[in-house]
Amino acid sequence: MIKLRSFRIAILFLTSVCLPFPALAATAEQPDRAHQIGAKLKCMCGGCSESAGGCYHIGGAFSGPCDTAKSMLKEVGSLLAKGETETQILHGFEQEFGLSVYIEPPKTGFSLLAWIMPFFYLVAGTLLVVFVINRWSKRPKQQQQLAVAGKAPAVSLEYLARARAESARDTDD
């Protein structure tokens, strides 16, 4: 009887000690999750272009997240506590602030152009460089072939006389 009673006390003690841990773990994960979601949102303070999760004004007497970033993270945390998903939270901020609330533009609609254009410019620039290098590499070969064949590029006599007259004037001074 005593063993059964001590066993019940031990079970009751372990249950009372172990049950709060999942709740504590969930609350410990929530600020981290709020910062992860806040990293996708732009701090709307107007003084920086950082994410709400990474807004740290460095320098002067103030160093740390601004009040706007704190309130945004607090709102994200409260929405997480209510059980909203990440997409619901992001959509809510989008409705409140517009598309400018995102750190990265969404990959849909007209904003898709912001994701495609860098690759287009990379390909166009590479093709331009290849074209210019190709032309430059052919030019000396053409001049070497003319020199080997004994043919000099044709220069008009008028141009040659004008060049000799200019050089004579320049050397006489």
Per-domain boundaries in the chain: 2-104, 114-172
Q: Please tell me which residue, 136 or 19, carries the higher pLDDT value.
A: 136
Of the ranges 23-37, 59-73, 134-148, which one carries the lowest mean pLDDT score?
A: 23-37
**Averaged pLDDT, 39-46:** 84
> Rounded CA gap, 89 and 87, in Å?
5
Judged by average pLDDT, the poorest of 30-34, 67-71, 97-101, 125-129 is 30-34
For range 33-47, the mean pLDDT = 84
pLDDT in tens, 49-106: 788 877 776 654 556 678 888 888 889 999 999 998 988 999 998 898 888 888 887 7
Best mean pLDDT range from 15-29, 37-51, 128-142, 159-173: 159-173
Average pLDDT over residues 34-39: 86
Domain at 2-104: CATH architecture:
Orthogonal Bundle (1.10)
Arithmetic mean of pLDDT, 13-29: 50
State the Cα–Cα distance between residues 76 and 86, nearest whole angstrom.
9
Q: Are 89 and 37 in contact (CB under 8 A)?
A: yes
| Model confidence at 29: pLDDT above 60 | no
Residue 25 has a pLDDT of 42
CA distance 99 to 116: 18
* pLDDT of res. 112: 84
Give the confidence band of 17 by pLDDT, cuts at 50, 70, 90.
low
Torsion of CA 20, 21, 26, 27, to 10 degrees: 70
> Integer distance in angstroms from the first to the last C-alpha of the chain?
128
